[in-house]
Amino acid sequence: MKTKDNKLLLLISQKNVDAFDTFYYRYIRLIYRFVFRELKDEVLTDDLIQEFWLSVWEDPTFLKCNDKGSVQAYMLQYMKFRILDIYRKRLSGFLHESNFEKVECVQVDYDNITEGLNEKELLRIIREALKNQPPIIRNTFWLRINNWSVEETAHTLSVSTKTIYNKYSESLTVVREHIRDHYPEFADIRKVRTES
């Protein structure tokens, strides 16, 4: 008979290696597919999953089971929070970067994140912040964060490189202030803690 998750977690809390192995092989494929589908990045996925399994071994009590003894739903919700942590750190680091030459080097691969619901929400907020701005500010922002160089952006928009630097700075300020004023939870890069 298949051992229920709650029993395995109890045994893991007692440092039972066999129980950990059983739990690991029960869920590793599910968790990997879930996280990689959201992040589309092998390194980030591996790091996040390794951190998760280490936490399970050290103290599995953060995982909660339903009334049938299954942890699956809670575990996937927990991983959603961890993925959102990554999005928040990425966005916060980008928005708080004051050296625009360094910002130029930031790689924001939106093709990798558009399928993730949480990232879609962040993109929606950014669009909301910029919707009433002049086209030059909106266009500069989207071109630059999609890795267009200052020169390419200036040529495409038929303005000077100095204008691009200025408008990009303005766009970052607009987005940063909008998030700070209307969505402070997204500006907070502290780790999200699930309710116990």
- Residues 76, 33, single domain; the answer is yes
- Residues 114, 125, single domain; the answer is yes
- Residues 62, 108, single domain; the answer is no
- CATH number of 175's domain: 1.10.10
Range of the domain at 122: 91-187
Amino acid 114: pLDDT = 28
On the question of pLDDT at 103 being above 60, the answer is no
On the question of pLDDT at 115 being above 60, the answer is no
- CATH number of 42's domain: 1.10.1740.10
Q: Is residue 100 part of a domain?
A: yes
> Which of 33, 67, 90 is the endpoint of a domain?
90
Average pLDDT, the chain: 77
> Which of 90, 111, 138 is the endpoint of a domain?
90
Amino acid 13: pLDDT = 94
In whole angstroms, what is the distance from residue 23 CA to residue 95 CA?
39
CB 63 within 8 A of CB 6: no
- Residues 106, 182, single domain; the answer is yes
- Residues 69, 145, single domain; the answer is no
On the question of pLDDT at 17 being above 90, the answer is yes
Residue 40: DSSP 8-state: -
167 SS3 class: helix
Q: What is the pLDDT of residues 116-126, one digit of tens each?
A: 335 667 777 78
Q: Give the closest residue to 90 by CA, choosing from 140, 39, 42.
A: 39
Q: Is residue 192 part of a domain?
A: no
Confidence of residue 82 (pLDDT cuts 50, 70, 90): confident
Q: Give the closest residue to 144 by CA, choosing from 119, 171, 182.
A: 171
> Which of 65, 90, 115 is the endpoint of a domain?
90
Sorted by sequence, the CB contacts under 8 Å of residue 35 that are 6+ apart come out as 45, 48, 49, 79, 83
In whole angstroms, what is the distance from residue 192 CA to residue 62 CA?
13
- Residues 34, 111, single domain; the answer is no
In whole angstroms, what is the distance from residue 52 CA to residue 50 CA?
5
- Give the CA count within 13 Å in the CB-facing half-sphere of 163: 13
- Residues 86, 151, single domain; the answer is no
In whole angstroms, what is the distance from residue 95 CA to residue 179 CA?
10
In whole angstroms, what is the distance from residue 63 CA to residue 144 CA?
41
Q: Which amino acid does the sequence have at 152?
A: E
- Residues 78, 47, single domain; the answer is yes
Q: What is the pLDDT of residues 137-160, one digit of tens each?
A: 988 888 887 778 888 888 888 889
